[in-house]
Amino acid sequence: MESITPHQFYALLVVAILELGTIRIPRALAEAAGADAWLSAIAVFVFLTPVVLINLVLARRFPDEYFPSYSKRILGSFLGGALSFLYAGYWAVWMSLVLIEFGHIVRVVLLEKTPSELVVLYMLLVGLYLARQGLGPIARSAEILLLVVILVVVFSLTLTVAAGGLEFTSFLPFLADGPLPPLKAGLRAVGEVQGVALLLVLYPFLRRKAQALRATVAAMWGTVAVIVVGLAVVTQAALGVSELINTVWPVLSLERVVKIPFLERLDIVFLMFWATAVFTTVVIALYGSAHMLAGALGFKTHQVLLFPLLVVTFLMSSAEIPQATLEVLGQAFGFVTLAFTVFFPGLLLLVAALRGVGGVRG
Amino acid sequence: MRRSLALVILLLSSAILIGCWDRVELEERAFIMTIGIDLVKAEKTEPLEDTGVWQEEPPPQAAELPSARKEVRQGGDVTGLPATPIPGPGKEKMYKVTVEIANPGAMGGDQGGGGGGGGASAPANWVLSTTGDTISEAISELATRTGRRPYLGHLMMIVVGEDAAREGLGGVIDFFVRSGEVTRTAKFMVAAGEAADVLKVKPKLDRLIAVYLERTLQSREVTSRFRERDLNRLLRDLRFDNATLVARVTPFEEEAKVAGAGIIAGNRLVGYLGEAETRAALLILGELAGGTLVIPCPDEDGGRVTYLLDEATRTIRPEWREDHLHFSVEIEMSGRVAERTCPSPINPQFLAKVGEGVAAQVEREVTFVLKKLQRDFGADVLQLGEELWRRDPKLWRRIDWRQEFPRATFDIKVKVKVTAYGQST
């Protein structure tokens, strides 16, 4: 069995979760919580903690077993297989939605005439090459690309703060309607954070499992939360709440507030590097999807399934979905995500406990 | 090894090939640095089917300038204010878009100097106008005359002519916000007259109007006679209550004067504040950064004292008093004597009297501006509503701000410190 280090586990989790939702989320929070949007960004991660824990506890119950295998042991061969199949489909759809949105952004901001299908195809092809090699190369790439992602976030946040356009009155009135609206907004946005369920795929590969919790906490709270909350705070301070809810990709609009001599289009620079975050998400989701599918169908290796998955994903991502419809789909997909990050893992955990499958003895 | 090579080739090819469709050489781009937007009478347009007959010109209709009070009836979103319809140019009018295109070949060397790369004789900019029903249509039209693709990634200035601004800013701004090229750092101002005239100015020290206007705006701390707004800050203001103050630029032949402020209410230009009025408005907005204030010499006839402002802060406390809103405005200023044309000796008593004189003048100016905005325009361009919303959202929700603002009362307290008097006693 391939294995990954705790640091690779951490890097994989972070780059899987950071994608386009990260640059979109401040708007959804501001719509629901107004000036307390930044608080709801923190609330998202408070609510995500039990969600992550459910997945981690489930994975720890079967430390050296893949999800498709233990889901069959818990729910029976048919239902367990079907569940793995569903996960594969969920990640394929997620990938497609991410790629469609990426195509939209690239067309609006960067390449007006270049067919976005081509951009998506290249990303998928490189992703396919990497995913074919197994989780090891993906993990090593994730470690390097995570640095790129962190650097671009730090770079853009520093520049925005240094540019001096932040108005901290944007955070007032503070809790105008009490703590409920930001909490509600945070709860609603839990589904917007995708990629948490990939933990179920990654865990069995982890070499020193005792460090799983530490790596997960470092990924979710130490990195993803810091980036998401940081971007939410600075975006709100720079754009103001009323303008924030009128922007489609607030973090990209934030980059357009900064002007540096010889680097006037900071949004393009940001997007170029943020493509890294999109790429890593696609690779990990592609691998996860193939891994689940192989388990569900009883294949020995995931490799043969990568190409068909790539074709399906490419066709789905080539769908001519208008920007407005994509937004609605994205919101609806948040509920689907909750099924795969909360409901199914919770159900598996419950049934496994009731039936005495897995656990300390294993 | 072969696999690594394949990966490298794949990555390299993606880097080279991806952008082919959008490849535009630098010399094929028309770098638009300044945009001026005016309103003109609609031109005759070609009918859809080419019958050889021109369409009838729509009957001329006088541009109606709605009363100022009606302007302030629209609003933002989180605040609970109703939304604003976006006013456009209407059927009988169209936008005249004047652009300043930079000539990179003539930009070498110092600004105003000889130039390099064969640019000494070539003009550094090209100013031309085009028309369209919308801004984007007019800008697309440019390509038919420039032989180059318009590029707005370096846009520095957006100047809106008086007529276009009076008609409505919503239709003007939408293009810039939606565009994938325009950055939010582009500065925004209204022209007293035609925006096209501002772009025709031939500055003496700068080769581009955009650079000239940008440098003029940078003198904010010296003069405090205008309010600088970039696209981002303009949007922030307008999204709240569709009201703000923007810099006014008046074109002359060889210069453009940036002074005073356009009053935007209900997304339209409804009037102007003069230079001193703008300074008072900046004080209430908490944006006064410097500048001078001249007062008569205390206890003397004829002489003058110039007070040079170093720093100003203000605190606004809104409260509900019986049947109306009341704002307590406390202003604290710190500065020095920059000039004195009277024989009075400079001593603590004199400086204290200068402070009192400045305070009295500032109080007068601030009170005047507030009255003017309440009485003549009913426009909260000083963002007092926003202050109320932030400080007391419960009170904000109980009242109808647009009804209450003209009735609100103010209590202005000004404290002035004179900290120094230069190198002469």
Catalogue the long-range contacts made by B52-60 (C-beta closer than 8 Å, 24 or more residues apart): B58/B91, B58/B92, B59/B92, B60/B92
Report whether pLDDT(B118) > 50.
no
Give the span between the Cα atoms of B387 and B285, in whole angstroms.
Answer: 10
Mean pLDDT of B174-195: 92
A19-28, A64-73, A187-196, B295-304, range with the lowest pLDDT: B295-304
Does A147 lie at the interface with B, CB-CB under 8 angstroms? no
Mean pLDDT of B82-106: 75
| Residue-level pLDDT at B56 | 44
Closest partner CB to A129 (pick from B10, B183, B393): B10
Which of the four pLDDT bands, split at 50, 70 and 90, describes residue B42? confident
User: How far from the centroid of its chain's Cα atoms is residue A208's Cα?
Assistant: 24
Contact B317, B391 (CB under 8 A): yes
Contacts of B182 in chain A (CB under 8 A): 256
Contact A143, A11 (CB under 8 A): yes
Closest partner CB to A111 (pick from B21, B177, B240): B21
pLDDT higher for A77 or B12? Answer: A77
Q: What is the number of other CB atoms lying within 10 angstroms of the CB of residue A119?
A: 21
Does A258 lie at the interface with B, CB-CB under 8 angstroms? yes
Preferred mutation among A241, A242, A303, A310 to probe B, highest tally of B CBs within 10 A: A242
Mean pLDDT of B51-64: 42
Distance from CA of B357 to the nearest CA of A (A): 33
- Name the average pLDDT for chain A: 91
Residue of A nearest to B239 (CA): A242
Contacts of B386 in chain A (CB under 8 A): 169
Highest mean pLDDT among A7-16, B117-126, B204-213, B307-316: A7-16
- Please state the three-class secondary structure of chain A as a single string: CCCECHHHHHHHHHHHHCCHHHHHHHHHHHHHHHHHHHHHHHHHHHHHHHHHHHHHHHHHHCCCCCHHHHHHHHHCHHHHHHHHHHHHHHHHHHHHHHHHHHHHHHHHHHCCCCCHHHHHHHHHHHHHHHHHCCHHHHHHHHHHHHHHHHHHHHHHHHHHHHHCCCCHHHHCCCCCCCCHHHHHHHHHHHHHCCCHHHHHHHHHHECCHHHHHHHHHHHHHHHHHHHHHHHHHHHHHHHCHHHHCCCCCHHHHHHCCCCECCECCHHHHHHHHHHHHHHHHHHHHHHHHHHHHHHHHCCCCCHHHHHHHHHHHHHHHCCCCCHHHHHHHHHHHHHHHHHHHHHHHHHHHHHHHHHCCCCCCC
Phi, psi of A252 (to 5 degrees): -70, -40
Q: What is the number of other CB atoms lying within 10 angstroms of the CB of residue B296?
A: 14
Cβ neighbours of residue B130 under 8 Å, at least 6 residues apart?
Answer: B96, B97, B99, B138, B139, B141, B142, B145
Phi, psi of A318 (to 5 degrees): -85, -5
Strand partners, B307: B293, B337
- The closest alpha carbon to B155, from B263, B33, B35, B328, belongs to B33
Distance from CA of B321 to the nearest CA of A (A): 21
Does A241 lie at the interface with B, CB-CB under 8 angstroms? yes
pLDDT higher for B85 or B88? Answer: B88
Residue of A nearest to B153 (CA): A265
The first and second tokens of residue B254, run together, are: 């060889």
Contacts of A271 in chain B (CB under 8 A): none
Residue of A nearest to B231 (CA): A257
Question: Is the Cβ pair A172, B232 closer than 8 Å?
Answer: no
Strand partners, B249: B191, B258
Q: What structural domains and CATH numbers belong to chain B? A: 26-273 (no CATH), 278-420 (3.30.300.210)
pLDDT higher for A272 or A58? Answer: A58
Closest partner CB to B21 (pick from A113, A125, A242): A113
Does A245 lie at the interface with B, CB-CB under 8 angstroms? yes
Which of the four pLDDT bands, split at 50, 70 and 90, describes residue B91? low
Give the span between the Cα atoms of B315 and B96, in whole angstroms.
Answer: 43
Give the span between the Cα atoms of A290 and A341, in whole angstroms.
Answer: 18
Highest mean pLDDT among A271-280, A319-328, B14-23, B299-308: A271-280
Contact A241, A37 (CB under 8 A): yes
Closest partner CB to A122 (pick from B18, B180, B239): B18
| Residue-level pLDDT at B59 | 40
Mean pLDDT of A165-184: 91
Question: Is the Cβ pair A173, B180 closer than 8 Å?
Answer: no
Does A35 lie at the interface with B, CB-CB under 8 angstroms? yes
Give the span between the Cα atoms of B388 and B316, in whole angstroms.
Answer: 9
HSE-up of residue A152 (Cα within 13 Å, Cβ side): 21
Q: pTM for the whole thing?
A: 0.86
- The closest alpha carbon to B413, from B349, B293, B333, belongs to B333
Report whether pLDDT(A294) > 90.
yes
Give the span between the Cα atoms of B51 and A92, in whole angstroms.
Answer: 54
| Residue-level length of chain A | 362
Distance from CA of B24 to the nearest CA of A (A): 11
A6-10, B75-79, B82-86, B339-343, range with the lowest pLDDT: B75-79
Contacts of A245 in chain B (CB under 8 A): 77-78
Question: Is the Cβ pair B78, A167 closer than 8 Å?
Answer: no
Distance from CA of B100 to the nearest CA of A (A): 18
Phi, psi of B41 (to 5 degrees): -65, 140
| Residue-level pLDDT at B67 | 32
Question: Is the Cβ pair A113, B22 closer than 8 Å?
Answer: yes
Question: Is the Cβ pair B22, A176 closer than 8 Å?
Answer: no
Preferred mutation among B18, B151, B267, B389 to probe A, highest tally of A CBs within 10 A: B18
Contacts of A108 in chain B (CB under 8 A): 180
Per residue in B124-171, pLDDT tens?
A: 889 999 999 999 999 998 888 888 889 998 999 999 999 999 998 888
Question: Is the Cβ pair A173, B391 closer than 8 Å?
Answer: yes
Residue of A nearest to B9 (CA): A126
Question: Is the Cβ pair B180, A108 closer than 8 Å?
Answer: yes
Cβ neighbours of residue B41 under 8 Å, at least 6 residues apart?
Answer: B60, B92, B93, B94
Question: Is the Cβ pair A264, B154 closer than 8 Å?
Answer: yes
Catalogue the long-range contacts made by B13-19 (C-beta closer than 8 Å, 24 or more residues apart): B14/A122, B14/A126, B17/A118, B18/A111, B18/A114, B18/A118, B18/A119, B18/A122, B19/A111, B19/A114
| Residue-level pLDDT at B367 | 94
Residue of A nearest to B76 (CA): A242
| Residue-level pLDDT at B75 | 35
Contact A303, A80 (CB under 8 A): no
Bridge pairing between strands B157-160 and B93-102? unpaired
Question: Is the Cβ pair A110, B7 closer than 8 Å?
Answer: no
Per residue in A125-138, pLDDT tens?
A: 999 999 999 999 99
| Residue-level pLDDT at B350 | 85
pLDDT higher for B66 or A66? Answer: A66
Report whether pLDDT(A362) > 60.
no
Contacts of B78 in chain A (CB under 8 A): 30, 34-35, 241-242, 245
| Residue-level pLDDT at B90 | 64
The first and second tokens of residue A19, run together, are: 């994608």
| Residue-level pLDDT at B18 | 58
**% of chain A at pLDDT higher than 90:** 69
Report whether pLDDT(B83) > 90.
no
Contacts of B236 in chain A (CB under 8 A): 167, 239-240, 242-243
Q: What structural domains and CATH numbers belong to chain A? A: 6-340 (1.20.1740.10)
Question: Is the Cβ pair B185, A238 closer than 8 Å?
Answer: no
Report whether pLDDT(B86) > 60.
no
Structure ipTM: 0.84
Contacts of B239 in chain A (CB under 8 A): 240, 242-243, 246
Report whether pLDDT(B69) > 70.
no
Supply the angle between the helices A225-239 and A135-163 in degrees, to the nearest 10.
30
Does A114 lie at the interface with B, CB-CB under 8 angstroms? yes
Which of the four pLDDT bands, split at 50, 70 and 90, describes residue B211? very high
Which of the four pLDDT bands, split at 50, 70 and 90, describes residue A4? very high
Contacts of B79 in chain A (CB under 8 A): 242
Question: Is the Cβ pair A243, B235 closer than 8 Å?
Answer: yes
Question: Is the Cβ pair A243, B389 closer than 8 Å?
Answer: no
Distance from CA of A294 to the nearest CA of B (A): 24
Mean pLDDT of A74-86: 94
Question: Is the Cβ pair A256, B183 closer than 8 Å?
Answer: yes
Distance from CA of A258 to the nearest CA of B (A): 7
| Residue-level length of chain B | 425
Does A238 lie at the interface with B, CB-CB under 8 angstroms? yes
